[in-house]
Amino acid sequence: MLTALKPQPADKILQLIQMFREDARADKIDLGVGVYKDPTGLTPVMRAVKTAEKRLWEVETTKTYTGLAGEPAYNAAMAKLILAGAVAADRVASVATPGGTGAVRQALELIRMASPDATVWISNPTWPNHLSIVKYLGIPMREYRYFDAETGAVDAEGMMEDLAGVKAGDVVLLHGCCHNPTGANPNPVQWLAICESLARTGAVPLIDLAYQGFGDGLEMDAAATRLLATKLPEVLIAASCSKNFGIYRERTGILIAIGEAAGRGTVQANLNFLNRQNYSFPPDHGARLVTMILEDETLSADWKAELEEVRLNMLTLRRQLADALQAETGSNRFGFVAEHRGMFSRLGITPAEVERLRTEHGVYMVGDSRLNIAGLNRTTVPVLARAVAEVLRG
């Protein structure tokens, strides 16, 4: 049986982690996978997480099973963080999931159960794993235009044209903030237009919210999600705590399904069913830490302060990189880097140039020229800018 298995292509992002580890050069720079690194190159455990872990060890008396949908307190705390009461609680069903990927996967399975013929529309480009999971589940898929490679901004016109062709009941996968991989995001006016378009066509948004707090702040980053959740009859939200709580390996996420109050019980039952089929109970450790932090005023304030430091550090790096690239290349071609938000920007250089950055300069980024801004620091910014300029000179 096992001999019948076909080889699987390696995940392009995760493959970079291994290649980087195997590179012996001391001055190599990792701008691949989306992990935050502080100016010393460390991915720290956040202060509030450390404190919560210590407290948890002291007060935890059992490791018996949690609820099938996760601990109600976690689900409530996350709904509050994301929706801030924008939607009546009796319209909100949710399950804790293993990370944001788990939430995306459960959302897509829910869509397939509810409406097997629905097409899922994804942005071109999107996080490669979106494509991969949709394909794996055999769900009909189409792309909508999203990115203008010339300007480095959202191709708002193309996007709106494509969204106008979406059918009622189709699903539009949106990045709630900090678009991965481009770093380009709709502005509030454009979000309003997206919302109106979805209302007109009767399409259901599936919002991937993996970077709340990494773009314009916790509230602003959730603004588009809250808008859609308030204005549209049905909304799915797949959120992750990996980045904003820095608990990548704890696998902490949530899927929120908003619909009619009368149908909430059935939606919740289906979410519970999906958890049971796929892994029974969701992981609890990270979820418990998140709950403890969000429920405790002091811990919460400390977490928000540290998250804000992270965000501002990324913004500073963006400005520094845009300036350094301008100085090294003599053109404003990369000015968009300072305008983008979140961990990523797409530089818009060719795969061959990306390859040369890796082989000649030890700079690792994804083949589509997506770089993780948070992998840089004050010392590596000028090194990267010089390397890019050198590669561009041919």
* Beta pairing, strands 29-30 & 344-346: unpaired
Residue 267 per-residue DSSP state:
H
CB 317 within 8 A of CB 155: no
**Residue among 20, 31, 34, 98 that touches ligand LMR (CB under 6 A):** 34
Please state the closest distance from residue 130 (CB atom) to ligand LMR, in A.
Answer: 10
Number of residues that bind ligand LMR (CB under 6 A): 6
Regarding 252 and contact with ligand LMR (CB under 6 A), the answer is no
Nearer to ligand LMR, 126 or 320 (CB): 126
Nearer to ligand LMR, 13 or 166 (CB): 13
Which SS3 state, helix, strand or coil, does residue 98 take?
coil
Nearer to ligand LMR, 183 or 205 (CB): 183
Nearer to ligand LMR, 125 or 152 (CB): 125
Please state the closest distance from residue 100 (CB atom) to ligand LMR, in A.
Answer: 7
- Encoded one letter per residue, x for contact with ligand LMR by CB under 6 A and - for no contact, window 8-27 reads -----x--------------
Regarding 197 and contact with ligand LMR (CB under 6 A), the answer is no
Nearer to ligand LMR, 34 or 152 (CB): 34
Regarding 127 and contact with ligand LMR (CB under 6 A), the answer is yes
Strand partners, 346: 370
Regarding 126 and contact with ligand LMR (CB under 6 A), the answer is no
54-113: contacts with ligand LMR (CB under 6 A): none
Query: Which residues carry out catalysis?
Result: 127, 208, 210, 243
Please state the closest distance from residue 105 (CB atom) to ligand LMR, in A.
Answer: 12
CB 341 within 8 A of CB 183: yes
Regarding 33 and contact with ligand LMR (CB under 6 A), the answer is yes
Of the chain, the end-to-end C-alpha distance in Å amounts to: 50
Residue that is written with structure tokens 């049905």 in the block:
234
Both structure tokens of 146: 């999203």
The answer for residues whose C-beta is within 8 angstroms of residue 87's C-beta and 6 or more apart is 229, 230, 258
The amino acid at 342: G
Residue 88 to residue 260: CA distance in whole angstroms: 10
Residue 374 to residue 33: CA distance in whole angstroms: 10
Residue 288 to residue 91: CA distance in whole angstroms: 24
212-251: contacts with ligand LMR (CB under 6 A): none
Q: How far is CA 212 from the centre of its chain?
A: 8
Regarding 182 and contact with ligand LMR (CB under 6 A), the answer is no
Nearer to ligand LMR, 240 or 270 (CB): 240
Regarding 180 and contact with ligand LMR (CB under 6 A), the answer is yes
Question: What region does 77 belong to: left with phi over 0, alpha with psi -120 to 50, or beta?
Answer: alpha
Residue numbers of the site for ligand LMR (CB under 6 A)? 13, 33-34, 127, 129, 180
